[in-house]
Amino acid sequence: MDNQVLAQLLFWRTVPGFEPSPAAFAPAQDAIQDLREHLQKTVDAGLLHPDAASDEGIALYTSITSGVLSQQLANEPGASFEEGRFTRLLPTVLEMFYQRYTPTRGKR
């Protein structure tokens, strides 16, 4: 929320035809790897279903969290993260992710 132009450059393709160089894209790949490792540790601790650390789980997590930020920037850019109509829903969104990947998912 503090650097909205940077957020646009990081999360959206604001310049038609632009593709980052491998070196410029490396930090994004590192961030995804960090997320994967964090989710895997949570799976290993028995707090999430193994699918949470899968490619699908990573895609869902990044989609819902970046979607919250995108909605906030598009609809209420002047609000703080804590007070934003969309960003304040992040705990609820993360709870939804947890419910999707609850450790007992698929067990009867």
pTM over 0.85: no
pLDDT of residue 47: 96
Task: Tell me the DSSP string of 31-66.
Answer: HHHHHHHHHHHHHHTTSS-GGGGSHHHHHHHHHHHH
Q: If you average pLDDT over residues 97-105, what whole number do you get?
A: 91
44's tokens: 């290993």
What are phi and psi for residue 11, nearest 5 degrees? -105, -15
What value does the mean pLDDT of the chain take? 90
CB 48 within 8 Å of CB 39: yes
The rounded distance, in Å, linking the Cα atoms of 108 and 87 is: 35
